């Protein structure tokens, strides 16, 4: 038995989109607008579910984007946040983005993280999480966010990770609802 | 900016090891012995931390192994369980291993899952988790298991996933302790 490698790769439409926008996103709203657009385009391009994410430096330099590729890649771990973290670590050449606490990075997510992505965040070396839609908004259209700690934000804060919620929440919710209205696959 | 793909690939020593052992592991102890050996070999080969995992069919057919490659691949999501799940999904060509509840698979892990891997299990379609060392055993040598629900096993059971603990726990602990004694990197 040979075990084939699994390749984590962005859909072809992502790089032209980033090339058109540039890679500097100074405000938190600009960072959130990008990940919401990634979520919406991922649905429009039929490459996956309505979730986008990205890693940015504290100053706003885009390090790596991610989109949900669970169905397209047949891989349940490929949530948008996981992709963005793995690609950012590849770009920077280290598994601890913070380089032992010396540097600061944001993970922006169009929807608050599920139980898996929540658990992945402290291992990645990001020290701030920016969220658009709430987990309740994802549940409202039928997505399961998993068994999370009741106060998952406090658990992240206790590990030195700041959580900023509700950035452009109405726009983030609209993307989730457009997906549900178009009868998208819920998994 | 081009975003390079991330390739999830087993170290070169894994396939010969599996070829020598065969792919049928009828007893739960045989499944656990394999993942403990993967953990120990991963340390001996200097390809990563002291953690092994594998997905098996209910009957005991090995679908895919995994080892911790966080340091070797510079990727914080590459815990042994995540690798085994991603590779098994690639081998079987579906992101839901159970194929909508029709089939049963085990995930065996040499140590109980961290918060990330706990969250990943329900998305994968396995319906039984076999564990060797306890999370407390990993903490005892300095590994952080993350912020888990106090009764994470009940949370899995509530989702139809059986948890069997303490399979060959002394042998699993011995592998963790050998790593710590050899002054292995804790991350």
A105 within domain boundaries: yes
CA distance A105 to A89: 11
DSSP state of A35: H
Q: Select the residue of A2, A62, A86 nearest B6 (Cβ to Cβ).
A: A86
CA distance A34 to A14: 11
**Would you call A81 a catalytic residue per the annotation?**
yes
B184 within domain boundaries: no
The total number of structural domains that make up chain B:
1
CA distance B109 to A11: 32
- A21 → chain B, closest CA residue: B1
Residue-level pLDDT at B186: 66
B99 within domain boundaries: yes
State the pTM of this model. 0.97
A4 within domain boundaries: no
CA distances from B74 to B62, B174, B186 (A): 27, 26, 14
User: What is chain B's pLDDT, residue by residue, as a tens digit (187 residues)?
Assistant: 689 999 999 999 999 999 999 999 999 999 999 999 999 999 999 999 999 999 999 999 999 999 999 999 999 999 999 999 999 999 999 999 999 999 999 999 999 999 999 999 999 999 999 999 999 999 999 999 999 999 999 999 999 999 999 999 999 999 999 999 887 676 6
A7 within domain boundaries: no
Write the Ramachandran bin of A166: left for phi over 0, alpha for psi from -120 to 50, otherwise beta: left
CA distance A15 to B2: 7
Pick among B1, B3, B64, B97 to test the A interface (most A CBs inside 10 A): B3
Residue-level pLDDT at B2: 81
CB atoms B86 and A93 under 8 Å: no
Residue-level pLDDT at B65: 98
Q: Are A111 and A92 in contact (CB under 8 A)?
A: no
The domain that holds A96 is classified in CATH as 3.40.140.10
Chain B hits for A114, CB-CB cut-off 8 Å, are 119, 123
DSSP state of B27: S
Tens digits of residue pLDDT in A105-134: 999 999 999 999 999 999 999 999 999 999
Residue-level pLDDT at A186: 66
- Which of A187, A35, A185 is closest to A112 using CA atoms? A35
- Which of B165, B58, B150 is closest to B101 using CA atoms? B58
Pairing state between β A6-8 and B6-8: antiparallel
Residue-level pLDDT at B182: 82
Residue-level pLDDT at B187: 65
CB atoms B87 and A6 under 8 Å: yes
B187 within domain boundaries: no
Residue-level pLDDT at A98: 98
CB atoms B76 and A85 under 8 Å: yes
DSSP-H helix ranges across chain A: 14-21, 28-44, 70-73, 80-92, 115-124, 135-140, 152-157, 169-181
CA distance B120 to chain A (A): 5
Q: Does the pLDDT value for residue A179 go beyond 70?
A: yes
Residue-level pLDDT at A187: 65
B130 within domain boundaries: yes
Residue-level pLDDT at B173: 98
Residue-level pLDDT at B43: 93
Contacts of B152 (CB under 8 A, 6+ apart): A147, B113, B118
- Which of A60, A64, A32 is closest to A131 using CA atoms? A32
What are the residues facing B66 on neighbouring strands? B53
A2 within domain boundaries: no
Q: Determine the structural domain holding residue A176 and report its residue range.
A: 14-180
């Amino acid at each position: 038995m040979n075990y084939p490698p699994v390749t984590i790769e962005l859909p072809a439409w992502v790089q032209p989109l980033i090339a058109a926008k540039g890679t500097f996103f100074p405000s938190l709203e600009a960072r959130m607008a990008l990940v919401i657009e990634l979520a919406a385009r991922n649905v429009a391009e039929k490459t996956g579910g309505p979730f986008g994410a990205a890693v940015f430096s504290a100053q706003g330099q885009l390090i790596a984007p991610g989109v949900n590729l669970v169905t397209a890649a047949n891989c349940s771990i490929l949530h948008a946040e996981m992709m963005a973290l793995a690609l950012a670590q590849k770009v920077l050449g280290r598994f601890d983005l913070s380089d032992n606490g010396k540097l600061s990075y944001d993970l922006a997510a169009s929807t608050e993280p599920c139980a898996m992505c929540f658990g992945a965040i402290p291992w990645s070396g990001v020290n701030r999480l920016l969220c658009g839609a709430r987990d309740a908004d994802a549940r409202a259209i039928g997505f399961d966010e998993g068994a999370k700690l009741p106060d998952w934000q406090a658990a992240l804060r206790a590990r030195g990770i700041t959580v900023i919620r509700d950035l452009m929440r109405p726009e983030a919710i609209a993307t989730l609802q457009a997906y549900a209205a178009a009868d998208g696959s819920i998994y």
